[in-house]
C-alpha cells in the first residue's frame, strides 16, 4: 500500500520548512521532497517572511532554526493552526509552559518537539533512563561539530533530566564525589545532578556518551550520528504523525512507542 493510500486522502501533506538553508533544514527539504505522501510548499530561512508558510497553505511546519527564534516561529504556527515538528534546541521548562498555554486555545493542533530524531539516540536515552535507578553516579559527555550554536546539547540536557527523574523515583541521590577543588568548568554543567561535558570539534557530527559507575564496574551507553541522514526517518515520522497527535508531545519515544 502506498503512503498516499495509507493517509487515505490521495493528496500529499503540505509541509513548510523553517531554517531551510541550514544544515538540518536543507536535509529535511530533500527528505520531504523524496516522500510521495509529503510535499514541500514553502522554504523559509533568515531574512525571508514567515508569512510564506501560511500563504502557501502549509499544514505542518518543520523547524530547524535557532533557540533565539524558535518561540516566535511556534507562536506564528500555533496562531495560524499549523502543526509543528521541532528539532531546534533551547526548550526550558518555562518555554514549554508558555507553549502549553498557547496550545490550550487550539486543542486540535499538534506540536512535536524532539531533542533528537535519530533512532539510536532515542534508544540511548531510554536505556539511560532504565539504567539510572541502578547507579548513583552518572555523567554525560556530548560531542558535536564546532558550528553548533549551543551547549550543552538538547539531547544531553534531556538525557540528564530523564536520569534525574528516574533516580528521584527510585529514591537515589547522586553518588559520592570527593572532588572539592576544581577549575571552573572542569566538572561540566550540572543538570538535575548529572554533570554534562560538551566537546566541540570539526569532523564530529552528533555524539553522546552516558557513563554510569558503581563499585568495581562502569556502564557506557554511546550513540553516534555520523551523518544528518540519521535524523530524517524520525523527522518524516514526526511530520506524518503530528496532525493526529493534538497537544504537545516531547520526545520521539512517544511517537515510536518503544
Ligand X SMILES: NC(=O)C1=CN([C@@H]2O[C@H](COP(=O)(O)OP(=O)(O)OC[C@H]3O[C@@H](n4cnc5c(N)ncnc54)[C@H](O)[C@@H]3O)[C@@H](O)[C@H]2O)C=CC1
Q: Please state the residue numbers annotated as binding site for NAD(+).
A: 19-24, 45, 87-89, 114-117
**42 touches ligand X by CB under 6 A:** no
**116 touches ligand X by CB under 6 A:** yes
**198 touches ligand X by CB under 6 A:** no
Q: Which three cell numbers stand for residue 131?
A: 539504567
* Shorter beta-carbon distance to ligand LZUJQKHR: residue 159 or 241: 159
Active site residue 207: no
Q: How far is CA 239 from CA 59, 202, 211, in A?
A: 10, 30, 33
Which position's Cβ is nearest ligand X?
Answer: 22
Active site residue 244: no
> Of these, 144, 197, 223, 240, which contacts ligand LZUJQKHR (CB under 6 A)?
144
Among 83, 106, 144, 207, the one annotated catalytic: 144
In the list ligand LZUJQKHR, ligand X, none, the entry touching 16 (Cβ below 5 to 8 angstroms by class) is none
* Shorter beta-carbon distance to ligand X: residue 23 or 161: 23
> Of these, 34, 46, 96, 229, which contacts ligand X (CB under 6 A)?
46
> Of these, 155, 230, 241, 249, which contacts ligand LZUJQKHR (CB under 6 A)?
155
Q: Rule CB under 6 A: which residues touch ligand X?
A: 18-19, 21-25, 44-46, 64-67, 69, 87-89, 114-117, 154, 231
Residues forming the active site: 144, 148
Binding footprint of ligand LZUJQKHR on the chain (CB under 6 A): 89, 115-116, 144, 148, 153-155, 206
Amino acid at each position: 500500500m502506498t503512503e498516499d493510500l495509507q493517509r487515505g486522502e490521495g493528496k500529499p501533506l503540505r509541509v513548510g520548512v523553517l531554517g531551510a538553508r541550514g544544515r538540518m533544514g536543507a536535509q529535511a527539504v530533500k527528505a520531504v521532497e523524496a516522500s510521495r505522501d509529503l510535499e514541500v510548499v514553502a522554504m523559509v530561512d533568515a531574512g525571508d517572511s514567515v508569512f510564506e508558510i501560511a500563504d502557501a497553505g502549509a499544514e505542518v511546519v518543520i523547524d530547524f532554526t535557532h533557540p533565539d527564534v524558535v518561540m516566535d516561529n511556534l507562536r506564528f504556527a500555533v496562531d495560524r493552526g499549523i502543526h509543528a515538528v521541532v528539532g531546534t534546541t533551547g526548550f526550558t521548562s518555562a518555554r514549554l509552559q508558555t507553549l502549553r498555554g498557547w496550545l490550550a486555545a487550539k486543542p486540535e493542533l499538534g506540536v512535536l518537539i524532539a531533542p533528537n530524531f535519530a533512532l539510536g539516540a532515542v534508544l540511548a536515552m531510554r536505556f539511560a533512563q532504565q539504567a539510572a535507578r541502578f547507579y548513583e553516579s552518572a555523567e554525560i559527555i556530548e560531542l558535536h561539530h564546532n558550528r553548533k550554536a549551543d551547549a550543552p546539547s538538547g539531547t544531553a540536557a534531556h538525557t540528564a533530566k530523564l536520569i534525574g527523574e528516574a533516580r528521584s523515583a527510585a529514591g537515589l541521590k547522586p553518588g559520592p564525589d570527593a572532588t572539592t577543588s576544581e577549575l571552573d568548568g572542569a566538572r561540566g554543567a550540572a543538570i538535575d545532578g548529572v554533570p554534562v561535558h560538551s566537546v566541540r570539534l570539526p569532523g564530529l557530527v552528533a555524539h553522546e556518551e552516558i557513563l554510569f559507575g558503581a563499585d568495581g564496574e562502569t556502564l557506557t551507553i554511546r550513540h553516534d550520528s555520523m551523518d544528518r541522514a540519521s535524523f530524517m526517518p524520525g523527522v518524516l515520522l514526526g511530520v506524518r504523525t503530528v496532525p493526529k497527535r493534538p497537544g504537545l508531545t516531547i520526545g520521539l519515544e512517544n511517537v515510536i512507542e518503544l
